[in-house]
Structure 1
Amino acid sequence: MIDRAPLELERFLPYRLSILTNTVSQAIAREYERRFDLSVTEWRVMAVLARYDGEGLSAREVAERTAMDKVAVSRAVARLVAAGRVTRRTHHGDKRRSVLRLTAKGWKVHDAVAPLARAQEREVLARLDAEERAWLARILDKLLMA
């Protein structure tokens, strides 16, 4: 007989974090998918490009900053470029590197979706008191430093 020890998923941290992330993300994703034909991956790419606008990131750098799959990021970037929401230009100092930036059309979508994301975050965090929110921020910072 094989001795098995199945994971108790309801207590397994990666599973619980995944469920939480999916639940929170899907709450606003339905809205921006409907309004802007934008996937979760595309939104995350746009959010990172907006956050680091002054730097001009490559698709590889976006994947690194989001811990998303490079192929998924590449597909999302291709769709965003085709939709006119992102430009892809050759880096002036390194012809092998592409630099991505939001277009005016991309910023318009970003500026409509970002408040939805912030509102969803506030709604989730409202379940915690101020001390719990501070602890959560410290714990997440500590875990993400690993």
Structure 2
Amino acid sequence: MITDTVPAHAPLELERFLPYRLSILSNTVSQSIATEYQDRFELSMTEWRVMTILARFPEVSAREVVERTAMDKVAVSRAVARLVEAGRVDRSTHGGDKRRSVLKLSEAGWAIHDEVAPLARAHERDLLAKLDEAERVQLDRILDKLLGP
């Protein structure tokens, strides 16, 4: 008789499970940055991520924001609606095509971006300072490889 050596309920060793570890790292880093802009600008993490995409890729659709961030479509839609309502993002039609709207940061959105982006870069520098130069290069290569096609 052949017996299975794996118990019927074998929990994942989360402390060694890569997706879990990456999620914890991402949440920890994102939350440390978010604390600064949430209180100051009443800006959610999703709203900030939308704003960073619009700063980097002006005049994209909400669908393109979803594609670039891998965030939930409903969460992005709600964030865009709040940003437009708050006057931080402008929505217009693309070349007269009323079926396709494009988004861009408003002046108020740029003002917030220009205050928060340096804070985010400082957090990134602090985090990466824990690694030496060779480790930073290797981390970049690994991330490119894992995120690549």
Residue 51 of structure 1: CA displacement?
0.4
Give the TM-score normalised by the residue count of structure 1: 0.95
Residue 93 of structure 1: CA displacement?
5.1
Q: 1:34 corresponds to which residue? A: 39
CA RMSD of aligned residues (A): 0.9
Larger-Rg structure: 2
How many equivalent residue pairs?
143
Residue 119 of structure 1: CA displacement?
0.3
Question: Given the alignment, which residue of 12, 20, 31 partners 1:15?
Answer: 20
Amino acid across the alignment from 1:136: L
Give percent identity, aligned residues only. Answer: 73
Residue 24 of structure 1: CA displacement?
0.5
| Cα shift readout 1:11-34 (whole Å, capped 9, x = no counterpart) | 111110000001001111011000
Q: 1:46-85 counterparts in 2 under 5 A?
A: 46-53=51-58, 56-85=59-88
Instruction: Please tell me whether residue 138 in structure 1 is matched to residue 102 in structure 2.
Output: no
Q: 2:4 corresponds to which residue? A: none
| Cα shift readout 1:84-142 (whole Å, capped 9, x = no counterpart) | 00011011153210100000000000000000100000000000000000000000000
Q: 1:99 corresponds to which residue? A: 102
Q: 1:112 corresponds to which residue? A: 115
For structure 1, the 5+ residue unaligned runs are none
Give the TM-score normalised by the residue count of structure 2: 0.94
Counterparts of 1:27 and 1:42 in 2: how far apart (Å)?
16
